[in-house]
């Protein structure tokens, strides 16, 4: 970059918005119908892009009593126990100045999101099952730059501002190496000629006049990332219990015929865990349909790659397979002991009959 270009990059003022998504897993299930009936929250009209399917639709509400520097423009409550908050932070500055403030803005917004989600949680707590506030949180940030400035185009963004954009997306205040910068900038995509979208692991840069539908896709991917991490944590907990031999301490009543089938045990818990994870994973996987829109499919593929969603899914599937195998082993153990108990009981009854017959 020449000295004149550096000066231009440092001086040119951009306008736009930061969109920051915060997603929280607060329980196993949230009854959206009960929340509507209770009227504890003000419901907002929800308009989703066409690629969202018309089932498993979240409840959009106003955030009650929100006080803070950052404005939460959207709150969505999902029936599988997730709350998603979207914050909008307008900016008017050079990209370099914005980069310097990005970490501070992100930290302060995260602190406010904790206060806001706790306020929301108090209103929906009564309609949430297996409450756990909160086990996992996921965050993603979008730098959206307005396209009204005719002196800026995609070529200028790449050549003059590529280094600043690349380091901002990594939340770094120093310039990245040329290799790292090129890797990030060259991954840019867009639908129309003037569009410019870069997707990275923790943040994205959007230069697109019609970005609303794209923004919703980012929010959904952030929720997927949250749930996959949550499932991984739950399965890790189960693995630890197994390694500590806690799951092998099955109550004696579980071995008893008839009575054991009516009581709950660790085998049943493992089976329920597998079903719960499979159901929610299916909802997340099939909540959107992108086959009819190649551009959104390409964006989602980039998000999948940057957020490592596929690897998370593979890891969870492997752990679910281990849980399934353990469940089979424990169930076989219970069945074997039950058969032995029944056989022993039959032998005892035969011996009693023989003794009674001999005595008579």
The total domain count for the chain is 2
User: Beta strand 128-129 with 29-30: parallel, antiparallel or unpaired?
Assistant: antiparallel
Residues paired with residue 111 on neighbouring β-strands, in sequence order: none
Are 159 and 37 members of one domain? Answer: yes
Say what the pLDDT of residue 258 is.
Answer: 52
Token pair listed for 267: 């085998």
Are 154 and 232 members of one domain? Answer: no
Are 175 and 293 members of one domain? Answer: no
pTM: 0.82
Are 170 and 210 members of one domain? Answer: yes
Are 269 and 349 members of one domain? Answer: yes
- The three-state secondary structure class of 175 is coil
Q: CA-CA distance, 316 to 155, in Å (whole number)?
A: 41
DSSP 43: B
Per-residue pLDDT reduced to its tens digit, 199-221: 999 999 999 988 888 898 899 89
Domain end: 188, 217, 246, which one? 217
* Phi, psi (rounded to 5 degrees) for 249: -85, 70
- The three-state secondary structure class of 129 is strand
Token pair listed for 277: 């994870």
Based on its alpha-carbon atoms, the radius of gyration of the chain, rounded to whole angstroms, reads 27
Are 62 and 162 members of one domain? Answer: yes
Are 273 and 341 members of one domain? Answer: yes
Are 302 and 164 members of one domain? Answer: no
Per-residue pLDDT reduced to its tens digit, 158-194: 889 999 999 999 999 999 999 999 999 988 988 888 8
| Contact in structure between 166 and 279 (CB atoms under 8 Å) | no
Does 91 score more than 90 pLDDT? yes
Are 145 and 266 members of one domain? Answer: no
Domain end: 155, 189, 217, which one? 217
Q: CA-CA distance, 76 to 85, in Å (whole number)?
A: 7
Are 198 and 262 members of one domain? Answer: no
- The three-state secondary structure class of 55 is coil
Domain that holds residue 34: 3-217
User: Beta strand 203-207 with 136-145: parallel, antiparallel or unpaired?
Assistant: parallel
């Amino acid at each position: 970059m020449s000295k004149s270009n550096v000066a231009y990059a440092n001086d040119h003022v951009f306008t736009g918005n930061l969109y920051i998504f915060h997603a929280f897993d607060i329980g196993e299930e949230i009854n959206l119908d009960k929340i509507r009936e209770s009227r504890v929250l003000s419901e907002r009209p929800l308009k989703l892009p066409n690629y969202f399917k018309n089932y498993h639709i979240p409840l959009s509400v106003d955030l009650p009593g929100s006080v803070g520097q950052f404005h939460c423009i959207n709150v969505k409550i999902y029936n599988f126990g997730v709350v998603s908050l979207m914050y909008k932070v307008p900016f008017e500055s050079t990209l370099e100045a914005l980069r310097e403030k990005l970490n501070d803005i992100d930290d302060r917004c995260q602190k406010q999101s904790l206060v806001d989600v706790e306020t929301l949680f108090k209103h929906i707590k009564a309609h949430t099952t297996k409450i756990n506030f909160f086990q996992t949180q996921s965050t993603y940030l979008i730098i959206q730059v307005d396209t009204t400035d005719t002196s800026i185009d995609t070529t200028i963004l790449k050549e003059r501002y590529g280094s600043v954009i690349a380091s901002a997306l990594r939340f770094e205040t120093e310039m990245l190496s040329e290799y790292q910068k090129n890797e990030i900038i060259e991954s840019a995509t867009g639908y129309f000629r003037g569009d410019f979208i870069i997707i990275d692991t923790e943040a994205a840069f959007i230069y697109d006049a019609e970005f609303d539908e794209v923004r919703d896709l980012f929010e959904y991917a952030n929720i997927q990332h949250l749930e996959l991490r949550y499932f991984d944590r739950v399965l890790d907990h189960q693995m630890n219990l197994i390694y500590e031999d806690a799951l092998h301490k099955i109550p004696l009543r579980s071995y008893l015929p008839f009575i054991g089938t009516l009581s709950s045990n660790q085998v049943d818990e493992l089976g329920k865990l597998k079903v719960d994870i499979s159901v929610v994973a299916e909802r997340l996987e099939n909540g959107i349909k992108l086959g009819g829109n190649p551009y959104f499919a390409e964006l989602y593929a980039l998000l999948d790659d940057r957020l490592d969603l596929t690897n998370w899914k593979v890891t969870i599937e492997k752990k679910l397979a281990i849980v399934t195998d353990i469940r089979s082993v424990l169930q076989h153990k219970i069945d074997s002991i039950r058969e032995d108990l029944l056989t022993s009981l039959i032998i005892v009854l035969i011996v009693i009959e023989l003794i009674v017959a001999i005595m008579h």
